[in-house]
Structure 1
Amino acid sequence: MSDDEQQTRQDFDDAVNMTASELRRWLDTDESKHVGQKPPGGGESTGHESGRHIIRILDKKQADYTDDDYAHMRKVVGYVARHSEQRPDGDVHDTPWRWSLMNWGNDPEKR
């Protein structure tokens, strides 16, 4: 594994604090399906699709990661960092802000 891949994996592990089973359960909720940017005409949001890819990554052995997996890990790290900076004031438990982060594998209430 290259240094870049090792750093990407470490950053991904820091950003994604939900297990594959937690994320799988979350993605089945109405709240998860309600938030995020959807393609014109409807369909699955970018974050929801990302959550499914994260589950596939978490279910794999590290030796089986593809270039696409590493690219997605970097995308997840960037999204979580940017979105975390936009934290609204007050209780965030039942907010679209938190739900969006959870679609990307990060529950801000777990930290």
Structure 2
Amino acid sequence: MSDDEQQTRKDFADAVNMTASQLRHWLDTDESKQVGQKPSGGGESTGHESGRHIVRILEQKQSDHTDADYAHMRKVVGYVARHSEQRPDGDVHDTPWRWSLMNWGHDPEKH
């Protein structure tokens, strides 16, 4: 395993603070399905699709991670970092901002 892959896994583990089970449960909620950018014509949002990929990554053995998985891990790390900086004022518990982050495996209310 390369140093880049090790760093990617570490950064991904820091960004994703939900378990596969928590994320799978979240992705089944109406709140999860109503946020995020959807392709023209409707369908699944980018974040919701990402969440399903994150669940697969979390459930895999590390030795089974593909180049596409590592690319997705880097995408997740970047999204969580950028979106976290846009935190709105006040209570964020029931906000699309938090729900979007949760679709990407990060619950900003968990420490």
Query: Sequence identity, in percent?
Result: 87
One-letter amino acid of the structure 2 residue matched with residue 56 of structure 1: R
What corresponds to 1:15 in structure 2?
Answer: 15
CA distance in 2 between partners of 1:41 and 1:69 (Å) = 27
Q: Secondary structure at the match of 1:50?
A: helix
1:86 aligns with 2:104: no
Gaps in structure 1 of 5+ consecutive residues: none
Structure 1 residue 37, shift from structure 2 partner: 0.1
Deviation at 1:4, TM superposition (A): 0.1
1:74-94 deviation per Cα after TM superposition (whole angstroms, max 9, x unaligned): 000000000000000000000
Once the 2 structures are TM-superposed, how far is the Cα of residue 49 of structure 1 from its aligned partner?
0.0
Q: How far apart, CA to CA, are the structure 1 residues paired with 2:24 and 2:63?
A: 23
Query: Is it true that 1:5 corresponds to 2:12 in the alignment?
Result: no
Pairwise CA RMSD: 0.2
Shift of 1:42: 0.2
CA distance in 1, matches of 2:62, 2:33: 29
Question: Residue deviations 1:87-110, cap 9 Å, x none?
Answer: 000000000000000000000000
- Write the deviation string for residues 44-78 of structure 1: whole angstroms up to 9, x where unpaired: 00000000000000000000000000000000000
The code of the aligned residue for 2:110 comes to K
What stretches of structure 2 of length at least 5 have no aligned partner?
Answer: none
SS of the equivalent of 1:110 reads: coil
Q: How many matched pairs?
A: 111
